[in-house]
Homo-oligomer: A and B are copies of this chain.
Amino acid sequence: MKRTERIGAIIRILSENPNKLYPLSYFCDLFKSAKSSISEDIQVAKQILKCIDNGLIETTAGPSGGVKLVPYISDKDAMDLLNQICEKLKDSNRILGSGFLYTSDIMFDSNITKRTGEIFARKFMDKNADYVVTIETKGIPVALMTAHMLNLPLVVVRRESKISEGSTVSINYISGSSDRIQKMSLSKRAVTPGTKAIIIDDFMRAGGSVKGIIEMLSEFEIEIVGIGVVIASIEPQKKKISDYFPLIFLDSVDENNRKIDVTPNSLLFCKNNL
């Protein structure tokens, strides 16, 4: 293979597996090329992604070193995505009554959740997390995509303990908005005590579910190193948790005038924003 072909192939392979470290020898064997050639190819590939502002190619030296593609959504692409989601959310046909909005089409959209996952991955890439954790059901796609971008396992907390989960730990918690007692459970096989987790969910009102997940994970001595939610309701202003990273704020749903007020988090990647 010629240089142009090797570079294209390297970009394809790295793109398929974000944050997966490939030893240089992998590409040396694949292309039957010298390490020096592959190193030069990787430098060009790095420049290409930089030029189109679409991901970072990182190399590390040493025996355990190699090359990986770190997804890195640009500020512009992130804001474009959030504006696009907000436009969708403003459709008055989403109003369901009691302040609820229909969001399943957005939360189950693989392209939206993939790019949303890239925002969370960029935000939490340096947290050295061992897992991405969510609670069923609507947060699963964005949490899965975040896990994929960070090359981490996804752990899904269940509402009910299922026989297929083996032995579980369950907790009861107060749902922040309804003040009802709800249950969540986690398989003991799903996590290892003493590790670190990022929590990702689709929607947060008062933060009861996320607080429940935190309590649940504390039973396993798991440290929370980041919390991301796609949509955070402004009301109630007093949340049950403090440090969280919302992408979109839901201000109000005016059922009479059929108006939905949503705004993107404009401080997305500011250093002081969480």
Binding site for B on A (CB under 8 A): 1, 3-5, 7-9, 11-13, 15-17, 20, 30, 44-45, 47-49, 51-52, 54-55, 93, 96, 98, 100-105, 108-111, 113-114, 136-138, 140-141, 144-145, 147-148, 151, 153-156, 158, 163-166, 187, 189-190
User: Are B144 and A156 interface neighbours, CB within 8 A?
Assistant: no
- Given A17-B111, A108-B153 in contact, is the A144-B141 Cβ separation under 8 Å? yes
Closest beta carbon of chain B to A51's beta carbon, Å: 7
Copies in the complex: 2
User: Are A7 and B9 interface neighbours, CB within 8 A?
Assistant: no
A44 to B6, CA, bound (A): 11
A104 to B7, CA, bound (A): 37
12 residue pairs bridging A and B, Cβ less than 8 Å apart:
A1-B51, A7-B8, A9-B52, A12-B52, A102-B164, A102-B187, A104-B190, A105-B153, A108-B154, A110-B145, A110-B154, A144-B144
Q: Please give, as numbers and ranges, the residues of chain B lying within 8 Å of A158 by CB-CB distance.
A: 137
Nearest 4 CB-CB pairings of A with B? A110-B148, A15-B15, A8-B48, A108-B154
Beyond the given A101-B164, A104-B189, could you list 12 further A-B residue pairs with CB under 8 A, ordered by the A residue number?
A: A4-B4, A4-B7, A5-B48, A8-B44, A8-B48, A9-B54, A12-B49, A13-B52, A13-B54, A104-B156, A111-B148, A114-B148
